[in-house]
């Protein structure tokens, strides 16, 4: 049975600065239910010397309320590697927590729900990538067992840079077919794609984008490269979640739509009062398994801990470190987009 924590004057005082950031996207009644959990998590986090990493697709009360660092998988991997906190609690999906453990094995790495998976990560097995005949680039959305088999990892923020860093004519790129095809459009390297898809981004169609343009004339459309190449070609800008955030930082007003997981717009809205966000309704069921209640249980009982066999971890580390050794990608506002 769930115990509802009371919204006391003390909780109200403690969480007031957070409410100021969240009040445009979270209804007051909901905040009064969530704020006691936020306050309890933040207190326990300090006691346990834990750091909470929150992906851009988390709900706003996790993103703004309890996360010490937020970002895309590349930014959060770097944070996980560099932290000296005793505990890393990952508010994201399983492969992200695994990547944190690969990079920082001396820390206790927790994920609040072990079922928080990813359709891309689950689309491939280690057996599928043995003996490919060409170098293999794996999107970071893969399990450690895949990372242990491949030459190098990448994220959507650095995929082209990683493919070209190998200095070869051909690569196998997995598991995301659409990201692979979007990368292929930007490089001379021959990119052979695996057949994985993100169940969130594959929902977007060119017709939907045309409909947004018809309904909101002048709207700027920013799309994630896990969308199909056709959708990306119909957008005004294509970039990772970090790329989109950088793009929003350009001085500009007007309407904008983010063709990606729907919490993202809620999370960036507060920082951009000059923009009007048209919202999509495309949530990732895996990301949404992470709730404040589960985060509190995770920190209280130190569950669910990510454990990796050391030989596997070391092999996976090579491909992740090879990616992290590359320079940080340029800010997206310097990127030509599509």
State the residues that interact with ligand SF4 by CB under 6 A: 93, 118-120, 141, 198-200, 226, 261, 284, 286-287
What residues contact 119, with CB distance under 8 A and at least 6 apart? Answer: 196, 197, 198, 199, 286
CB of 228 to ligand SF4, least distance (A): 14
Residue nearer to ligand SF4 on the CB measure, 111 or 287: 287
CB of 122 to ligand SF4, least distance (A): 9
Neighbours of 133 (CB within 10 A): 8
Residue nearer to ligand SF4 on the CB measure, 199 or 326: 199
Residue nearer to ligand SF4 on the CB measure, 184 or 287: 287
Cβ(308)–Cβ(143) under 8 Å? no
Cβ(290)–Cβ(58) under 8 Å? yes
Cβ(231)–Cβ(185) under 8 Å? no
CB of 332 to ligand SF4, least distance (A): 19
Q: In what order do the strands lie in the sheet with 190-193?
A: 152-154, 136-139, 170-174, 190-193
Residue nearer to ligand SF4 on the CB measure, 40 or 287: 287
CB of 141 to ligand SF4, least distance (A): 5
Nearest in space to 162 (alpha carbons), one of 148, 146, 179, 178: 179
Cβ(138)–Cβ(147) under 8 Å? yes
> Which DSSP letter does residue 97 get?
H
Residue nearer to ligand SF4 on the CB measure, 199 or 208: 199
Residue nearer to ligand SF4 on the CB measure, 107 or 224: 224
- The alpha carbon dihedral of 257, 200, 267, 156 has a sign of negative
Distance in angstroms (rounded) separating the CA atoms of residues 12 and 242: 32
- The alpha carbon dihedral of 76, 78, 83, 87 has a sign of positive
For 82, phi then psi, to 5°, come to -90, -10
Helix (H, G, I), strand (E, B), or coil: what is residue 205? coil
CB of 142 to ligand SF4, least distance (A): 11
Distance in angstroms (rounded) separating the CA atoms of residues 337 and 223: 10
Residue nearer to ligand SF4 on the CB measure, 15 or 155: 155
CB of 6 to ligand SF4, least distance (A): 34
Find the angle CA(294)-CA(295)-CA(299) to the nearest 5 degrees: 115
Q: Furthest-apart CA pair in the chain: how many Å?
A: 64
CB of 118 to ligand SF4, least distance (A): 3
CB of 3 to ligand SF4, least distance (A): 30
Residue nearer to ligand SF4 on the CB measure, 37 or 284: 284
């Amino acid at each position: 049975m769930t115990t509802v924590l009371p919204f006391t004057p003390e909780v109200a005082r403690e969480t007031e600065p957070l409410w100021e950031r969240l009040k445009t996207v979270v209804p007051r009644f909901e905040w009064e239910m969530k704020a006691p959990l936020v306050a309890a998590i933040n207190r326990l986090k300090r006691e346990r010397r834990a750091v909470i990493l929150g992906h851009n697709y988390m709900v706003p009360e996790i993103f703004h309320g309890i996360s010490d660092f937020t970002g895309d998988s590349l930014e959060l991997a770097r944070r996980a590697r560099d932290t000296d906190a005793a505990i890393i609690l990952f508010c994201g999906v399983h492969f992200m927590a695994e990547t944190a453990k690969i990079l920082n094995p001396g820390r206790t790495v927790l994920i609040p729900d072990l079922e928080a998976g990813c359709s891309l990560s689950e689309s491939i097995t280690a057996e599928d990538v043995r003996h490919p005949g060409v170098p293999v680039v794996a999107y970071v959305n893969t399990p450690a067992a895949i990372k242990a088999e491949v030459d190098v990892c990448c994220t959507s923020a650095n995929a082209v840079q990683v493919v070209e860093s190998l200095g070869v004519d051909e690569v196998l790129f997995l598991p995301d077919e659409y990201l692979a095809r979007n990368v292929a459009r930007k490089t001379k390297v021959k990119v052979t794609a695996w057949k994985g898809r993100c169940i969130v981004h594959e929902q977007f169609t060119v017709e939907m984008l045309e409909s947004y343009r018809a309904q909101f004339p002048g709207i700027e459309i920013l799309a994630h490269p896990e969308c199909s190449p056709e959708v990306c070609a119909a957008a005004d800008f294509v970039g990772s979640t970090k790329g989109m955030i950088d793009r929003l930082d350009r001085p500009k007003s007007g309407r904008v739509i983010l063709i990606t997981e729907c919490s993202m717009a809620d999370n960036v809205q507060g920082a951009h009062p000059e923009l009007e966000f048209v919202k999509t309704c495309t949530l990732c069921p895996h990301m949404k398994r992470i709730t404040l209640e589960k985060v509190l249980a995770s920190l209280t009982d130190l569950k669910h801990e990510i454990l990796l066999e050391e030989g596997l971890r070391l092999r996976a580390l090579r491909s992740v470190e090879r990616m992290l050794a590359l320079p940080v990608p340029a800010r997206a506002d310097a990127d030509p987009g599509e």
